[in-house]
């Protein structure tokens, strides 16, 4: 690597190479050392890394050095994320750039734009079937527009996060087209079987991601004369990471995007990267080795870049995605269990599952964080909670199925949502819908019902903002945007209820965000959320790496968490008032009020309390 670097860049690279190259070589030898040409392949890979580092713009290298000197920079309580589809939020990349002042107004420091690279023509799983990682989707702009956006975001103190779909490419990606044309090297980048013998053997233990609309994990492709592994939709072909050429090509692709100014990568479908007969081919040890090797490469070439694991797995399986002292992995991991447990708590008016999730949440390694959220573009998957839902002796499947029915609007529920196909036929269906509709705002018929719905919506965001994570807002939740049913009129989307929570940004509601009288729901939600964000920024006890203690002296429907020695957060998930036995005097961080002695929480109310009273 050093041989290809200009002299002025070598001092910066030497120290990182000394620390990370031995780890990288060990990991790659474990994955690919059996290949006869391993040494030549590794030398070629290292030369490629050197060239990509040399090509890294000076401004990004300066940011790398700044962040390498403060590796926990993203754990601050001042970090706030925002997630949106480009086409829904701004129309195109230039439209997103025009909304930067709004993001600054919210306090956003991290913007996750859902897939904006060139996607498959026709059906493309919302952009997750990528045809080219090196080009922007033409309908969303150009590569020059992306460069301009990353520059403007960086000047505003906002890091751009991009999806990087590791597991698969579209069937019209250059590799797939070459494979169909008879290119043996391209064919070897996929998992192709001449008949059903091996697919049938694998299928005995594999789950299904979309059992209703895309059953099975293999698709016949006449041009290849066989069956291609396709975990997700038939037009998304899984990559063969047992082939070292796949790893080196994808690593170089990620770094080219990083050199365009992308600072965070959401590594999509990480659990599926390695296949093993007799297993569900998820969370295999080699999948973690691949991620650890990518982390080592990033630490060498672009240490200002963050990797985020999209691993929607049970709490006990999350720590592996953050790595260890011997081999660091991702910087950030979604805490999907915490998110789903919050919704269970609302449906049951009981925090038992949430408490179990928090008890099972391990301490973070240095310079790593969870990602907390209320909603996202995907469904609420209940399977991640099976262990916690059964901890008190309950039937986990029955308990989670009740939550699924509740948020689909079952009798007696306030929610407006829809069930989603389950990855496990024996488990509860996932749930879709916007946060505002799921908490009851859409069906509210009176001022009292609207008030309770708004409290529920703020309650969930309060947990995400105070838990000790990097919190991410999903576009429209700050404006209490409700379900978008227009997807039913689009044949390519009608079979997928996830489009309920993928609306266009509502400019009319946005105009009402300060108007409490004319747009009570909008103004109330926006102003209350801004107050939470600002309160969080003022308390370093709410940083991702600050201590967290679950307090056991709360009623069953109340979640009580201490952050450090002076701050307590209280959340009432019940529709009835609840009392918490405080000792001494406290200041409410949200309204400045003084609490002296026991506190009665109104239905669905929350309080962030700091020990002691202000004058």
Helix (H) or strand (E) holding 610: strand 606-611
Catalytic residue among 310, 329, 379, 482: 310
What residues pair up with 470 in beta bridges, in sequence order?
371
Contacts of 336 by beta carbon, 8 Å cutoff, 6+ apart: 312, 313, 381, 384
Residues 6+ apart with CB under 8 A from 101: none
The whole-angstrom separation of Cα 425 and Cα 206 is 12
Contact 438, 416 (CB under 8 A): yes
| Three-class DSSP category at 227 | strand
CA 189 – CA 176 distance, rounded (Å): 9
420-438 burial by CB neighbour count: b if 16+ within 10 A, else e? bbbbbeebbbbbbbbbbbb
Provide DSSP, 275-342.
--TTS-S-S-HHHHHHHHHHHHHHHHH-TT-EEEE-----GGGSGGGGB-SSSB--SEEE-HHHHHHH
Length of the chain: 615
> One of 268, 329, 442, 478 is an active-site residue; which one?
268
Greatest Cα pair distance in the chain: 78
Identify whether the C-beta of residue 229 lies closer than 8 Å to the C-beta of residue 237: yes
Contact 410, 401 (CB under 8 A): no
- H or E element in which residue 192 lies: strand 192-193
448 SS3 class = helix
| Residue 476 Rama label (left phi>0; alpha psi -120 to 50; beta) | left
Burial letters 65-84, b for 16+ CB under 10 A, else e: eebbeeeeebbbbbbbbbbb
Cβ–Cβ < 8 Å for 161, 111: yes
Report the alpha-carbon distance of residue 21 to residue 212 in Å, rounded.
45
Residue 517 annotated among the catalytic residues of the structure: no
Active site positions, annotated: 268, 310
């Amino acid at each position: 690597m050093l041989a290809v670097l200009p002299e002025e860049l070598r001092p910066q690279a030497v120290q990182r190479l000394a620390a990370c190259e031995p780890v990288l070589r060990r990991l790659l030898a474990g994955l690919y050392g059996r290949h006869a040409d391993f040494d030549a392949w590794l030398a070629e890979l290292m030369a490629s890394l050197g060239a990509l580092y040399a090509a890294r713009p000076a401004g990004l290298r300066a940011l790398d050095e700044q962040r390498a000197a403060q590796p926990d920079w993203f754990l601050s309580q001042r970090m706030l994320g925002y997630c949106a589809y480009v086409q829904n939020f701004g129309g195109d990349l230039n439209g997103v750039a025009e909304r930067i002042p709004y993001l600054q107004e919210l306090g956003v420091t991290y913007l996750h734009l859902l897939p904006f690279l060139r996607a498959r023509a026709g059906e493309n799983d919302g952009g997750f079937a990528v045809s080219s990682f090196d080009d922007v989707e033409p309908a969303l702009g150009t590569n020059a527009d992306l460069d301009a956006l990353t520059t403007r975001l960086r000047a505003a103190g906002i890091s751009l996060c991009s999806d990087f779909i590791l597991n698969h490419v579209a069937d019209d990606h250059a590799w797939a087209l070459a494979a169909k044309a008879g290119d043996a090297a391209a064919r070897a980048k996929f998992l192709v079987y001449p008949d059903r013998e091996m697919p049938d053997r694998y299928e005995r233990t594999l789950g299904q991601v979309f059992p209703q609309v895309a059953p099975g994990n293999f698709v016949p492709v006449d041009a290849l004369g066989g069956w291609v592994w396709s975990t997700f939709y038939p037009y998304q072909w899984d990559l063969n990471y047992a082939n070292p050429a796949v790893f080196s090509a994808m690593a170089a692709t990620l770094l080219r995007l990083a050199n365009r100014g992308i600072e965070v990568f959401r590594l999509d479908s990480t659990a599926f990267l390695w296949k093993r007969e007799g297993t569900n081919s998820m969370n295999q040890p080699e999948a973690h080795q691949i991620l650890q090797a990518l982390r080592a490469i990033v630490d060498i070439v672009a240490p200002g870049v963050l990797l985020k694991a999209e691993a929607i797995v049970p709490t006990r399986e999350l720590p592996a995605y953050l790595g260890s002292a011997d081999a660091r992995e991702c910087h950030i991991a979604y805490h999907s269990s915490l998110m789903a447990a919050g919704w269970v708590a609302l449906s049951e008016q009981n925090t038992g599952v949430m408490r179990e999730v928090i008890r099972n949440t391990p301490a973070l390694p240095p310079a790593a964080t969870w990602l907390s959220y209320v909603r996202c573009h995907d469904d609420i998957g209940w399977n991640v909670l099976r262990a916690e839902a059964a901890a008190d002796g309950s039937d986990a499947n029955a308990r989670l199925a009740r939550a699924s029915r509740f948020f689909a609007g079952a009798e007696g529920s306030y929610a407006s949502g829809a069930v989603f196909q389950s990855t496990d036929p024996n488990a509860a269906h996932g749930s879709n819908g916007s946060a505002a509709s799921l908490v009851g705002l859409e069906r509210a018929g009176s001022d009292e019902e609207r008030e309770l719905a708004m409290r529920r919506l703020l309650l969930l965001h309060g947990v995400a903002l105070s838990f000790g994570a990097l919190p991410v807002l999903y576009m429209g939740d700050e404006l209490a945007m409700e379900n978008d049913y227009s997807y039913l009129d689009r044949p390519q989307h009608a079979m997928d209820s996830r489009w309920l929570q993928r609306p266009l940004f509502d400019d009319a509601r946005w105009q009402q965000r300060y108007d409490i009288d004319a747009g009570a729901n909008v103004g109330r939600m926006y102003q209350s959320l801004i107050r939470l964000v600002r309160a969080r920024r003022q308390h370093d006890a709410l940083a991702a790496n600050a201590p967290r203690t679950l307090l056991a002296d709360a009623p069953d429907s109340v979640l009580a968490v201490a952050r450090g020695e002076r701050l307590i957060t209280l959340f009432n998930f019940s529709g009835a008032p609840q009392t918490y036995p405080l000792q001494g005097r406290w200041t409410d961080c949200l309204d400045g009020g003084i609490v002296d002695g026991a506190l009665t929480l109104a239905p669905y109310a929350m309080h962030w309390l700091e020990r002691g009273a202000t004058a």
